[in-house]
Amino acid sequence: MSAFKVTLVSLLLSSQLGLSSKAQEEIQSSDSELGYSYTLESTVIMAIENDPWLKKSQYKEQSLLAQAESQATLPDPKVSVKFANLPVDSFSFNQEGMTQLSLGVSQMLARGDSLNIKRKINQLEAKIEPNLRANRKNQLIMTVGDLWLDIYKAQQSIQLINQLDSLLEELKEAAEIQYNTALSSTGQEDIIRAQLELAKLDDQLTVYQDKLHASINQLNQYVTLPQGYLFGAQNVDYHFVSQTLPSIQLPKNLTKLQRHPLVLAADRNIHLSAKNVELKKQGYKPQFTLNGSYALRDDAPNGMKRTDFFSLGVTFDVPLFTENKQDLDVKSAVYTKEAKREEKALLLRQLRSAYNTQLSRLGRLEQRKELYQGTIAPQVSQQATTLMTAYSNNKGDFAELARSRVEEINVQLTILDIDVEIAKSKLAANYYLSETSTEYLSRIGSINNTSARKALSGESHE
């Protein structure tokens, strides 16, 4: 066997052992390497704690609660002051007996129980906000989790490709040395093949680096990342996220769909619509206005005392012609309530369909993973070993041997992609089965700090 082939086989053997054991352990190693190594949980918690939408929703809830109290308050009374029946010839206050200074007060009352109903309507609107915040938190877990997984996949893929890139670079250098010294049968085509495979790897590396940068920039929309994080991609050993893929549990209980935050919000919207029907029905009741006045008169010119006047009265409207007003208002409110019921039914169908889609996708991904790990990966590894043995016995081809090593890495990249897609599918499916963000995140990992528990349990935003 030539010196070049001895060198080549030793390089390939050390590479194969490294990729199957030591190198894989390095890829899944502890997070004490260069970088931040954010876990999925910590990234999601940062996104939730700094989300402006949640703060906006809190302010909106407080606004609705304040409005509920103002809506339940009677309008301010009206006060009138007037001089009545002044004679225009002299404008004398005591000339005529009808001349008087009148002070009046009127108070409009609510129509039926409309004030109390308006208060309840605003309170119901306010109660919808915690459900919307719970849904927002769950959406953040799913969206930020997806971005975290994209960064994880790109990060791990770059490490795998860099390992193969280093191997092929060493092989190319060894081939060039042997070719230049003419000590072996190494041909120029072997060098060209090594250069070609290196160029392909560089292109693949560029693609994953582009995906990594794009995902990091998208993540920065939800999480304020430090500058060192954003510029850390210059270092190939930089760990943006944890080196360990989180284990995600998936309960298969469709009854949990009924407790989805959007479904709970839809229930409250139906209740709110029913209150609106009650409010419109108050239009059939009369609206009263109480009024009273005190009229002060001056004594007559001859000194005779004149008695002051006091008046008390009530005015009210009579809803007699309701066909084009009250009847249509009530009918409109009833139609709106029924529309809300149909919206809830449609929402449940959409949630159920989306959940089943994720389950179906998850099943196919599990099948692919089993195929790759049980059949394709062992066969590709066996093929590489066979080609290595043949080449060491002068029966193999360098190009085929190089391609086999590239194929081994491609299989590992595919398995990595499948693992990430399985995690994404489980993450998405859990969105449909989680009532709260605490419940959602508990299926991904444990929460160990107080601020995290507050953010997810609702103490901060709910």
Listing DSSP states for 170-181 in one string gives HHHHHHHHHHHH
Q: What mean pLDDT is predicted for residues 209-214?
A: 90
Who wins on pLDDT, 104 or 7? 104
What is the three-class DSSP state of 252?
Answer: coil
What is the three-class DSSP state of 139?
Answer: helix
Q: What is the DSSP letter of 75?
A: P
Q: Say how many Å lie between the first and final Cα of the chain, rounded.
A: 73
pLDDT the model gives residue 23: 39
pLDDT the model gives residue 140: 96
pLDDT the model gives residue 21: 42
Whose CA is closest to 432, among 246, 250, 219? Answer: 250
Question: What is the sign of the dihedral through the CA atoms of 122, 126, 128 and 132?
Answer: positive
pLDDT the model gives residue 303: 75
Q: What mean pLDDT is predicted for residues 438-448?
A: 76
Q: Would you give the distance in Å from CA 236 to the centre of its chain?
A: 30
Contact by Cβ (8 Å): 157, 218: no
Strands of 224-277 (E only): list them: 239-241
Who wins on pLDDT, 16 or 119? 119
Q: What is the spatial distance between Cα 111 and Cα 114, in angstroms, rounded to a whole number?
A: 6
Tell me phi and psi for residue 39, to 5 degrees. -80, 165
Please report the domains of the chain, with CATH numbers, ordered by start residue: 3-457 (1.20.1600.10)
Whose CA is closest to 104, among 135, 136, 78, 140? Answer: 78
Q: What 3 state SS string does 263-323 have?
A: HHHHHHHHHHHHHHHHHHHHHHCCCEEEEEEEEECCCCCCCCCCCCEEEEEEEECCCCCCC
Reported as a pLDDT band with limits 50, 70 and 90, residue 132 is very high
Q: What mean pLDDT is predicted for residues 164-185?
A: 58
Whose CA is closest to 447, among 18, 25, 49? Answer: 49
The amino acid sitting at 304 is M
Q: What mean pLDDT is predicted for residues 287-299?
A: 90
The vertex-407 CA angle with 404 and 413, nearest 5°, equals 155
Q: What is the spatial distance between Cα 393 and Cα 378, in angstroms, rounded to a whole number?
A: 23
pLDDT the model gives residue 253: 78
- Tokens for 276, please give them: 């609106």
Q: What is the spatial distance between Cα 241 and Cα 158, in angstroms, rounded to a whole number?
A: 13
Q: Would you give the distance in Å from CA 126 to the centre of its chain?
A: 21
Who wins on pLDDT, 317 or 130? 130
Q: What is the spatial distance between Cα 407 and Cα 380, in angstroms, rounded to a whole number?
A: 7
Q: What is the spatial distance between Cα 345 and Cα 309, in angstroms, rounded to a whole number?
A: 65
Reported as a pLDDT band with limits 50, 70 and 90, residue 18 is very low
Reported as a pLDDT band with limits 50, 70 and 90, residue 235 is low
Reported as a pLDDT band with limits 50, 70 and 90, residue 292 is very high
Q: What is the spatial distance between Cα 451 and Cα 208, in angstroms, rounded to a whole number?
A: 35
pLDDT at 1 over 80: no
Q: How far is CA 410 from CA 61, 160, 376, in A?
A: 52, 9, 11
The enclosing H or E element of 108 equals: strand 100-108
pLDDT the model gives residue 195: 72
pLDDT the model gives residue 200: 80
Q: What mean pLDDT is predicted for residues 136-145?
A: 96
Who wins on pLDDT, 324 or 124? 124
Q: Tens of pLDDT along 238-268? A: 678 888 888 899 887 778 899 999 999 999 9
Q: Which residues of 411-422 are buried (b: 16+ CB within 10 A; e: fewer)?
A: bbbebbbbbbbb
Q: What is the spatial distance between Cα 262 and Cα 347, in angstroms, rounded to a whole number?
A: 8
Q: What mean pLDDT is predicted for residues 148-171?
A: 82
pLDDT at 232 over 60: no
pLDDT at 28 over 60: no
pLDDT the model gives residue 302: 79
pLDDT the model gives residue 448: 46
pLDDT the model gives residue 162: 83
Work out the percent of the chain whose per-residue pLDDT is above 90. Answer: 49
pLDDT at 370 over 90: yes
Q: What is the spatial distance between Cα 430 and Cα 436, in angstroms, rounded to a whole number?
A: 11
pLDDT the model gives residue 365: 96
pLDDT the model gives residue 445: 64
As separate numbers, helices (DSSP H) first and strands (DSSP E) second, the chain gives: 13, 6
Residue appearing with tokens 């009265």: 313
Taking CB atoms within 8 Å and a gap of at least 24, the contacts of 265-270 are: 265/128, 265/131, 265/132, 265/135, 266/340, 266/343, 266/344, 266/347, 267/344, 268/124, 268/127, 268/128, 268/131, 269/128, 269/340, 269/343, 269/344, 270/337, 270/340, 270/341, 270/344
